[in-house]
A and B are shown apart, each in its own frame.
Chain A
Amino acid sequence: MQQQRRLTLKAAMSWGAFACSVPFLGAQTLSKTEPQSSGRLVLVFLRGAYDGLSMLVPHGDPHYALIRPNISIPKPDGTSQTALKLDDLFGLHPACASLLPLWQQGVLAAIPCAGSPDSSRSHFDAQYHWETGKPGSSSPSAGWMNVLSAMLDTAGAAGVSNANNVVSAIGVGESSPKILSGPHKIQLVGNGNSAMRAGSLAESKTRDAVLQLYASDTHLASAMLDGSSSRMKTAEMLKPQAATGMLAEQQAANNGAGAPQGLALDAKNLGTLMRQNRNLRLGFLSAGGWDTHINQGNVNGQLANNLQNLSRTLLQLREAFNEPHDVVVVASEFGRTSAENGTRGTDHGHGNVMWLMGNGVNGGKWHGRWDGLAKAQLNEGRDLPVHHDFRAVFSQALVNALGVTQLQTENLFQGARWDSGLNSLFKA
C-alpha cells in the first residue's frame, strides 16, 4: 500500500518534469479553434480602498471641487496639470495619461458607483466579502475565484481538457489570498524575480529525498511535488531565453522603457505564464498602499505615484491580454469619502469606481448609474453610493468573457441578482 502510493507520487512528479520540458505544446494546439468563450479574467485588487474619484475625476460635477478644496484634480485645460477629458462629466487623472489611448480605442470602461451591498467600512471585513463573494457574511468560505476555477475546470469552457487536476487559476505572491483559497488546486508564483528561481527541489535526487522525509504525511508530500513542479514550470516559462516570437514582439513594444518593477513586473510575469499555459483562465494580482488618510496629494503626490504604477501595470496586462474575450478588472474593497477629511486625505467610504479593460469591453464610456455628488445623493451623506453590486459586474464579465452561464454565476454569487443596468458593459 505504502509502496504503491509512493509510486503514484513519483509518477506525478515525473509528469511535472515532462510538462516542464514541453511548455508551449498546449498553447499551439489551441490557438486556431478557440470557442467564443475562451477569454481570460485578470483581477487587479487594490487593497486599502483606492480613491476612485481621483482616477475617474468628476470634473463636471459642481460639488467636486468644493468638497475637495485641497485634493481635487483641476478641470481639463489640455495640459498635464489637469484632468484629461473623457467627456463633459469625467476625466482621467493625469498620472494615468498612458491609459487615455485605451479609452479612446474603446477598450477601457468605468463603472463609477460599484461596490459591495454590505455597509462595512472595515478594510478586512470588506475584503473578505469581496473575496468570498458573500457580502455581510464572515463565516468560513472558499474564495470565489477558487470555486469558479473548479467550474471552468469541469465545464471545460475553454475547450481544454476537463480532467479534474487542471489548474485554471493563478495568483502572484506565495501567501495565499482568500479569493484563491479553497478546495481546488491553484497556482501561486513568487513576486518579481523570485518567480524565476526553480529552487533546490528542481533536482530529482533532492525531491526523492524529501519525499522520503514526508513518507508519513501525504499532504506535505503532494504539496511538495505540486510546488516544485509549479516552480520549475514557472521558472522555465519566465526564462528570458525562452523568448518566442511573441515575447520578442512584446519587448519591441516596450519601446526601450526600463524593465518593469514591482506590480508591473508581477503583471508581466502573469501575462507570460498565462500565455504559455492556456489552462490558466483566471489571474489575480493585488497591491497595497491605497489607504490615503493624510496628504494624498492631487495632481502630484503619493496617490498620483500609485496611479502611475497602476497605469504601468495595466499597460503590461493590456499587452498580454488582448485576445477577443480577455478582460482585466480593477477594483478595491470600498471607496473613500467624497469630501476630503481634516488631514488632506479621505476616510473610508462605500461605493467606488471599477474599471474593465479588454477588446470585448464596450469601452470609451462609463456605465451604470451616476447621480452626482450633491449631499442628498450620497450614501449617508458622505460616500458614493453602491448602485451596482460588484458581483453583478463580475457576472457580466464571466458570462461575456469566460463563457460561464448566467445560472452558474447565480450559483457562484448566491443572492446577487443579474443587473441588466450593466448589459451595455460588453460589446454585443
Chain B
Amino acid sequence: MLQATEFNCSKAIKLLIGVLVFTLSGCGQNPKVISDSSSLVLNEPQITPSNRPAAQWRAINRLNYGPTTASLAAVQAAPSPVQWALAQLDAARVASQSAPKVPADMASINSSLPALFEGAQKERQSRAAVAAGTPINDAQPFNERFNFNVEPDPLYFNRTQVNKAVAWRLASCSNDEIEQPLLARMTEFWFNHFNIYQQKGTVRPFAGHYAIHVARAHALGKFEDLLMASAKHPAMLYYLDQWLSVSPQTNRTGQVVRGLNENYARELMELHTLGVQGGYSQNDVKELAKILTGWTISAKSDDGFQFVPRLHESGQKTLLGQAIPSSPRFIGEGEGVQALQLLARHPATAKRISQRLAEYFVADMPPPELVQHLTKVFINTEGDIYQVMSALIRSEAFWNSEQRLYRTPYDFVCGSLRLMQAGNDRAKWLQGVGYTFAAGQTIQNWQTPDGYSFDAATWMSPEALTRRIDFAFGIARNSREPLEVYPFLSESSLKAVYKQTPAQRMGFVLGSPEFIYK
C-alpha cells in the first residue's frame, strides 16, 4: 500500500509541476473547423506524454462537472484529451436533439404546455375551493421535497413541479445514464444566461419545461433559435412580464387601463443579446417594447405562445436605426421576429456570448484573443453554438494550466455527486440543495434576470470555503474511496488524504485544491 502511495505521489508531482507545453503550430492540422481563415485559428494545444494526465483532468472537470470512475477511464483510454473533448461535444449535440431521459417520477416537468397550464389552473381552483379558515399547508418538510411517489395533490401542483425541476437538474448533472454530461453543463449555462426565477408565482409550473425545451434543446444549435425559443416560452413571458405588455388600452372613460411594460425589452438587449455597452438607447428599449406588444402566453397552444394582433401597437418603429417592419409583409408578429433576428445577428451579441462562454469554460478573465476568435467564429457561422464550442475546445487557452476556475457551489455539488456516484440517493441530493442554499446559489432560484455569477470573486470567500468543506465532509461520510483519482492529486493533497481513514478520504478528495479548482 505504502509502495503504491509513493509511486502515485511522484507521478502526481510531475503532473502538477509539468506545465502544459504548447507548440506554436499553425493552422494546417485543423481540417474540421469550418470557415477557416488563418486569422481565425489560434495556436493549437499540443498534448505530450508528460502533460497528458493534467489535460485529461482538466477536460473532464471543465466539460463535465467532474469525473466518475467510468468517465475517467474513458478519457484515459481516448487517443488524446482533445479528441475526447471533441467527441463529448458531438455526443452532447446528438443528445440535445433527442428527448431527455427524465426519471419516471419527475416526468411531468416534460408534459405538454397545455397540460402544465391546466395543472396550474386546477391548483388555483382547488385553493379557491378550500373553506375559509382552513389552513393550506404550504410549509413542506425539507426531507420530503424529492419524494414524488404520491400523486400530487392539486393544491401543490406548482410546488411539486419546481421540486421535480430541481431534482432533474441534480439527476442530469450527476448521472451519465440520465444525461450526456457536457449537455448538462451547457444546459446550466443557457438557463443562467436566459435566467428565469422559478419562485415567481406564474413561472413555477414551467421551470423544468423551460430548462428542457429552451436551454437544453438549443444548447448546441443556432443562437437565434435559442433566443426565439426563450422569447416565446411561457416561463420567460411570465417572468419578465412580456405577456402583459400591450399597446395602451383605454376604458370607456378614456382612462388608460393597460399599456407598455419595458421589462422584457430592456433585458432582452441588455442581458440576452447586445450587453449593456451594446449601443442601444432608452428610446430603443421603448421601440422594442412596442414591437413586442401582442406577444403573450396561450394556455391552449402547443408552444404556449400566441400573438394577439389587437394588443399590438401598430405603426412604424425604429430599432438600432433599422426600420421595423422593414416591409408591410412583416407587420404584426413578424416585427418581433425581425427584431430578435437583428439582435441575434448583431456583432455585440456575438462578442457577449463568446465572452460568457469563455468565462464559463476557461477563466474568469479569459484571454481577449480567445474571445475575439470565438466572436469571429460566432459571426462567420451565423451564431452556431456548436462551432463556437468546437473552436473553444481547440484553443490553446482552454488547455493552458494557467487559466484557472473556481467551482461554483452548484458545480461543486454536481461534481461531488458524480465522484461519489450518488446515483438516485436523494438524501444526498437534499444535502446538495441545503449547501447551495447556504452558499447563495440555490438551483434555478436567482431572482433577477442576470443569472448567477460564475467567478471566484463571488464564491471564494473564507467563510464560504469553510461552508464548502463542511458540505464535502458531510456528504462524503462513509462513501467509497476514490482510488482512481489519486494519480491526479498533488503530493501534499495525497499525503493529507492518506492520513485519513478510508471512510474519510472521499471528503478530503472533494475538499482538495485539485477538486475545488479546475
Contact = CB atoms under 8 A, between A and B. Distances in A.
Given A175-B458, A217-B513, A230 B464 contact: no
Contacts of A228: 466
Contact of B259 (A48, A226, A343): A343
Given A209-B508, A293-B261, A216 B276 contact: no
A343 B244 contact: yes
B497 interface: yes
B469 A200 contact: yes
A84 to B, nearest CB: 28
Given A123-B450, A175-B458, A216-B513, A199 B466 contact: yes
B255 A293 contact: no
A209 B277 CA distance: 48
B458 A176 contact: yes
Interface string A350-391: 000000000000000000000000000000100000000000
A213 B463 contact: no
Chain A interface size, under 10 / 10 to 19 / 20 to 34 / 35 or more? 35 or more
Nearest to B489: A213
Contacts of B241: 293-294, 343, 345
Contacts of B497: 213
A155 interface: no
Interface in A128-161: 138
A125 interface: yes
A77 to B, nearest CB: 24
A124 B492 contact: no
A347 to B, nearest CB: 5
A396 to B, nearest CB: 30
Interface string A282-311: 000000110101100000000000000000
A301 to B, nearest CB: 14
Interface string A181-220: 1000001111100100001110000100110111111001
A174 B463 CA distance: 7
A47 B447 CA distance: 10
- Which of B461, B469, B497 is the most central at the interface, judged by chain A CB atoms within 10 Å of its CB? B461
A37 to B, nearest CB: 29
B258 A231 contact: no
B246 to A, nearest CB: 7
Given A293-B241, A341-B260, A380-B282, A212 B499 contact: yes
A341 B262 contact: yes
Contacts of A216: 16, 490-493, 513
A130 to B, nearest CB: 15
A48 B448 contact: yes
Interface in A302-330: none
B459 A175 contact: yes
Contacts of B110: none
A174 B467 contact: yes
Contacts of B490: 216
B127 interface: no
A188 B511 contact: no
Contacts of B516: 220
Contacts of B8: none
B438 interface: yes
B460 interface: yes
Contacts of B246: 342
Nearest to B440: A175
Contacts of A215: 492, 495-496
Interface string A218-252: 00100111111011000000000000000000000
A173 interface: yes
A145 to B, nearest CB: 14
A75 interface: no
A121 interface: yes
Chain B interface size, under 10 / 10 to 19 / 20 to 34 / 35 or more? 35 or more
A209 B511 CA distance: 11
B251 to A, nearest CB: 11
Interface in B444-479: 447-448, 450, 453, 457-467, 469-470, 473-474
A121 B492 contact: no
A289 B246 CA distance: 24
A347 B457 contact: no
A62 interface: no
Contacts of B495: 212, 215
B423 interface: no
A48 B200 CA distance: 15
Contact of A348 (B255, B266, B511, B512): B266
Contact of B462 (A190, A191, A194, A224): A224
Chain A contact surface mostly: loop
B441 interface: yes
A421 to B, nearest CB: 27
Nearest to B247: A342
Nearest to B262: A347
A262 interface: no
A228 B448 CA distance: 31
Contact of A210 (B16, B248, B277, B511): B511
A117 to B, nearest CB: 16
Given A181-B457, A341-B262, A342-B259, A209 B499 contact: yes
A342 B256 contact: yes
B463 A190 contact: yes
Contact of A174 (B16, B440, B499, B512): B440
Given A212-B495, A293-B263, A343-B245, A227 B448 contact: no
A69 interface: yes
A213 B441 CA distance: 26
Interface string A332-354: 00000000011101011000000
Given A212-B496, A216-B492, A227 B464 contact: yes
A213 B464 contact: no
A200 B474 CA distance: 9
A339 to B, nearest CB: 10
B457 A209 contact: no
Nearest to A380: B282
B244 A138 contact: no
Contact of B493 (A176, A181, A213): A213
B470 A345 contact: no
B244 A224 contact: no
Contacts of B440: 173-175, 191
Contacts of A230: 462-463
A181 B499 CA distance: 36
A277 interface: no
B500 A121 contact: no
Contacts of A69: 255
A122 interface: yes
Interface in B490-518: 490-493, 495-497, 499-500, 508, 511-513, 516
Contacts of A199: 466-467, 469-470
Contacts of A220: 465, 513, 516
Contact of B258 (A209, A291, A342, A380): A342
B335 interface: no
A125 B271 CA distance: 11
Contact of A121 (B261, B266, B277, B508): B266
15 contacts: A173-B440, A176-B457, A191-B440, A200-B469, A200-B473, A213-B492, A214-B513, A225-B462, A227-B462, A291-B448, A294-B244, A343-B259, A345-B261, A348-B262, A380-B282
